[in-house]
A and B are shown apart, each in its own frame.
Chain A
Amino acid sequence: MKRANWQELLWVAIIVVLAAFWPMLANGYWLGIGVDMMMYIALATSWVLFSGPTHYISLASAAFFGVGGFIVGTGMSDYEASFWSMLALSAVVGGALAALIGLATLRLSGVYFVIFTLGLAEMIRNLVSWIQNNFLGSRGLYVLTDFTDKHLYWMLLVTAAAVYLLGWIISRSRLGFALRIIGGDETVARHVGINTAMAKVILFTSTGFFGAIVGAIIAPRWSYIEPNQVFSPQLSFFVVIMALLGGSGRLWGPIVGVVPFLLIWNWVDANFPHQSILVLGLAFLVIVYFLPHGFVGRIDQLRARARGRS
């Protein structure tokens, strides 16, 4: 078990190093796809970090992503702050916000939590607009930097790797063990003396932290930030679909979910421009009927079968 864990880490490290060379090989369209992939890998991995062990389906990705984008936009546009300081602020605010929300809501379970997180992005968008309208004012949120896709790709790669590493460390810690018990049966977990609320809040905070970082990194790519675009609920659904397609049982699951999903999505989008949303629905059907544990579950199953045969 222990050795296999180290082996997994080594494999991921090799993938990260190889992925870092992508901008040398591709530019334009394919580098752009790479940025999209890295963005979703980072978001989906941080989603799995929390939702994988706890089985809480969170649709809050867009809320944190939007907070990151909005802070970078406001800071750089209205206060002439540097991108890096705003990136750091986004992470702190995203984390703090998630902690607050976690404290208030993680006692909710099952479908109540899903519904709450779905509304969260919309609530924060309205809150942000209200603050901007009444206190900050605005001349339009411009994020003008000299970053190109290459730089953003690397930043997202580092973020994704950091999420993975954190998840790997947590999964080997007492906290990770506690989370697995919570995922198995929350009542049992509480009875054996685990502070379930605290464990969940800590993990949810990390989701908010990384979600805001990803939003902040994408802001220079969009150049002009509008609240109704950075808080788009579609993003939350994409993250969940891709994470489930890959499989939430393993931290590397999102990698095998995001890559095929986005390749198919973009192929369909290029050839049947009005049908791409269909891919989303089909992916969902595939998950429910054929891949309940995602590609990861299928891979593990095949591996077990191969081992049984030999």
Chain B
Amino acid sequence: MFRRKLLGLAAALTVAGTSVFAADMIKIGAIAPKTGPLAGGAVVTQWPNVQLWVEQVNARGGLNVDGKQMQIELIEYDDKTNPGEHIKLAQRLATQDKVDFVVAPYGTGFNIATAPIYGKFGYPMIAVSAITDKADELTERYSNLFFTLGTTTAFVDGVKEILIEQREAGTIGNEVAMVNVADAFGIELADRARELFGEAGFDIVYDKSYPLGTPDLSPVMKGAKDSGAKAFVAWSYPPDSFGLAEQAIIEDLDVNVYYSAVATSFPAFKGAYGNKINNVLGAGGTNVDDPVIAEYRDAHLAITGKVADYWASANTYAALQILEQAIEGAATLDRDVVTQFIKDNSFDTVMGSLSFENQVSNTFWSVGQWQDGVFRGVKGSNVDGAVSVRAKDGWSD
């Protein structure tokens, strides 16, 4: 009899316990590609960091919102790299799932496409994988949208500075061989580079584009080799950054500066070519000697089983830390208050102290270089620990 009572009590407690537990959940929505053309980047940079952050926050007891510990419930969707699909899912997050906050999408277009939807419901969006020269116009239009990874111009500027330094050092001349993928971001970067390199007195002796998804990049690389330029710059995407490196190795491209843009910072890049790609430059960078970054990278590997990339991974995690600290700092789930808190404060993140000026954070790496197995930042804005650039010297192991 007594035992039955006790059991009843235990059951009641459990029921009460779970209901309290359910009320103390904070719903976070995340949409990004798991399939489609951008999935390759998103599963390296975006998804592991979302997983890492949610697990870490929940392990330490959840978010402290005005004295209440709230566990994160993550609602995630695959947008299939399809803008129409993404928009629909964003509407579902906002109106069906009624999430409290969202993780900003992966990809420039997706962030801009969802800004009006999330804006209508007041969700702050701390965009990471979105690089644009129109940040001013966009933030004026969307008061909920924040940018953290820099501008198109900043990326080209970083490369330009390196070219100028190397010219002064005498490792390269005025000739530059430049190629680009003929797709949105590649065309935009190449367009900007023609202007900025020209202003700096460089002569683009070889200027070729190739279509997205080209399986054979050997003609492109042969042309670059024949141009005789000692500097090679490629405004490339994930599949072709790999393809170009492969062809450069085959052709034994004789340059002192070799740069390829997106995905050069992926651990898989070194995984594919080992030490042959020593001294290759690429978009991004990080400071692995920074103890905070080192600790973050260890946790990333331990929890997700993957090595963090050497660029936007840290920024992605930092954006989530900003969201976390803003919710805790504002001590409310009121999204307008949290958005204002983001605008008014600075945040302590793995990328150092971050704050926003007109919704744009100017702390980011723009160029990095593979140096003895690690991709280190060499150019950036408001970041510490940039190492000096080394000249590329052959493609042997």
Q: Could you list which residues of chain A lie within 8 angstroms of chain B, going by C-beta atoms?
A: 27-29, 31-33, 36, 39, 126, 129-130, 132-134, 137-142, 144, 148, 218, 221-229, 232, 234, 266, 270, 273-274
Question: Judging by beta carbons under 8 Å apart, are B91 and A130 in contact?
Answer: no
Q: How would residues 162 to 194 of chain B score, 1 for a CB under 8 Å from any chain A CB and 0 otherwise?
A: 000000000000000000101111011011100
CB distance from B186 to the nearest CB of A (A): 8
Q: Any chain A CB within 8 A of the CB of B316?
A: no
Question: Judging by beta carbons under 8 Å apart, are A29 and B82 in contact?
Answer: no
Q: In the bound complex, how far is the Cα of B45 from the Cα of A125, in angstroms? A: 28
Q: Name the B residues within 8 Å of A142 (CB-CB).
A: 112, 134
CB distance from A21 to the nearest CB of B (A): 19
Q: How would residues 79 to 112 of chain B score, 1 for a CB under 8 Å from any chain A CB and 0 otherwise?
A: 0011110011001101110000000000011001
Question: Judging by beta carbons under 8 Å apart, are B84 and A36 in contact?
Answer: yes
Q: In the bound complex, how far is the Cα of B91 from the Cα of A58, in angstroms? A: 32
Q: Any chain A CB within 8 A of the CB of B243?
A: no
Partner of B108, one of A28, A33, A224: A224
A-B contact pairs, 19 of them (CB 8 A): A28-B96, A29-B88, A36-B88, A129-B187, A130-B182, A133-B187, A133-B190, A137-B191, A139-B188, A140-B108, A140-B188, A144-B141, A222-B87, A223-B109, A224-B113, A225-B184, A226-B183, A227-B183, A270-B92
CB distance from B35 to the nearest CB of A (A): 8
Question: Judging by beta carbons under 8 Å apart, are B83 and A229 in contact?
Answer: yes
Question: Judging by beta carbons under 8 Å apart, are A29 and B134 in contact?
Answer: no
Q: Any chain A CB within 8 A of the CB of B77?
A: yes
CB within 8 Å of A: which B51-95 residues: 77-78, 81-84, 87-88, 91-92, 94-95
Question: Judging by beta carbons under 8 Å apart, are B187 and A232 in contact?
Answer: no
Question: Judging by beta carbons under 8 Å apart, are A221 and B182 in contact?
Answer: no
Q: Name the A residues within 8 Å of B182 (CB-CB).
A: 126, 129-130, 132-133
Question: Judging by beta carbons under 8 Å apart, are A227 and B184 in contact?
Answer: yes
Q: Could you list which residues of chain B lie within 8 angstroms of chain A, going by C-beta atoms?
A: 34, 37, 77-78, 81-84, 87-88, 91-92, 94-96, 108-109, 112-113, 115-116, 132-134, 137-138, 141, 152, 180, 182-185, 187-188, 190-192, 209, 211-212
Q: Given A223-B109, A226-B183, A33–B88 Cβ distance below 8 Å?
A: yes
Q: Name the A residues within 8 Å of B141 (CB-CB).
A: 144
Q: In the bound complex, how far is the Cα of B78 from the Cα of A133, in angstroms? A: 31
Q: In the bound complex, how far is the Cα of B116 from the Cα of A221, in angstroms? A: 9
Partner of B109, one of A133, A138, A222, A234: A222
Question: Judging by beta carbons under 8 Å apart, are A221 and B191 in contact?
Answer: no
Question: Judging by beta carbons under 8 Å apart, are B84 and A129 in contact?
Answer: no
Q: In the bound complex, how far is the Cα of B120 from the Cα of A27, in angstroms? A: 12
Q: In the bound complex, how far is the Cα of B96 from the Cα of A32, in angstroms? A: 12
Closest-by-CB residue of B relative to A138 is B187
Q: Name the A residues within 8 Å of B78 (CB-CB).
A: 273-274
What 9 pairs between A and B have smallest CB-CB spacing?
Answer: A28-B95, A224-B109, A129-B182, A226-B184, A222-B83, A29-B91, A32-B91, A133-B182, A223-B113
Q: In the bound complex, how far is the Cα of B283 from the Cα of A231, in angstroms? A: 27
Q: Name the A residues within 8 Å of B37 (CB-CB).
A: 228
Question: Judging by beta carbons under 8 Å apart, are A133 and B212 in contact?
Answer: no
Q: Given A29-B92, A223-B113, A226-B109, A138–B87 Cβ distance below 8 Å?
A: no
Q: In the bound complex, how far is the Cα of B77 from the Cα of A232, in angstroms? A: 20
Q: In the bound complex, how far is the Cα of B84 from the Cα of A224, in angstroms? A: 12
Q: In the bound complex, how far is the Cα of B187 from the Cα of A126, in angstroms? A: 13
Q: Name the A residues within 8 Å of B94 (CB-CB).
A: 28-29
Question: Judging by beta carbons under 8 Å apart, are B187 and A137 in contact?
Answer: yes
Question: Judging by beta carbons under 8 Å apart, are B95 and A29 in contact?
Answer: yes
Q: Given A29-B96, A142-B112, A221–B87 Cβ distance below 8 Å?
A: yes
Question: Judging by beta carbons under 8 Å apart, are B77 and A140 in contact?
Answer: no
Q: Given A29-B88, A129-B183, A224-B108, A138–B95 Cβ distance below 8 Å?
A: no
Question: Judging by beta carbons under 8 Å apart, are B184 and A141 in contact?
Answer: yes
Q: In the bound complex, how far is the Cα of B88 from the Cα of A39, in angstroms? A: 13
Q: Given A129-B183, A129-B212, A133-B187, A232–B82 Cβ distance below 8 Å?
A: yes
Partner of A221, one of B92, B113, B133: B113
CB distance from B370 to the nearest CB of A (A): 28
Q: Name the A residues within 8 Å of B91 (CB-CB).
A: 28-29, 31-32
Partner of B191, one of A31, A139, A222, A229: A139
CB distance from A223 to the nearest CB of B (A): 4
Q: In the bound complex, how far is the Cα of B94 from the Cα of A168, in angstroms? A: 40
Q: Name the B residues within 8 Å of A27 (CB-CB).
A: 95
Q: In the bound complex, how far is the Cα of B191 from the Cα of A224, in angstroms? A: 18
Q: In the bound complex, how far is the Cα of B84 from the Cα of A229, in angstroms? A: 10
Q: In the bound complex, how far is the Cα of B211 from the Cα of A132, in angstroms? A: 12
Question: Judging by beta carbons under 8 Å apart, are B183 and A224 in contact?
Answer: no
Q: Name the B residues within 8 Å of A39 (CB-CB).
A: 84
Question: Judging by beta carbons under 8 Å apart, are B183 and A228 in contact?
Answer: yes
Q: Name the B residues within 8 Å of A273 (CB-CB).
A: 77-78
Q: Name the A residues within 8 Å of B152 (CB-CB).
A: 139-140
Q: Name the A residues within 8 Å of B211 (CB-CB).
A: 126, 129-130
Question: Judging by beta carbons under 8 Å apart, are B108 and A266 in contact?
Answer: no
Q: In the bound complex, how far is the Cα of B115 from the Cα of A103, in angstroms? A: 43
Question: Judging by beta carbons under 8 Å apart, are B109 and A229 in contact?
Answer: yes
Q: Name the B residues within 8 Å of A266 (CB-CB).
A: 88
Closest-by-CB residue of A relative to B191 is A137
CB distance from A227 to the nearest CB of B (A): 6
Question: Judging by beta carbons under 8 Å apart, are A132 and B187 in contact?
Answer: yes
CB distance from A136 to the nearest CB of B (A): 9
Question: Judging by beta carbons under 8 Å apart, are B88 and A32 in contact?
Answer: yes
CB distance from B4 to the nearest CB of A (A): 39
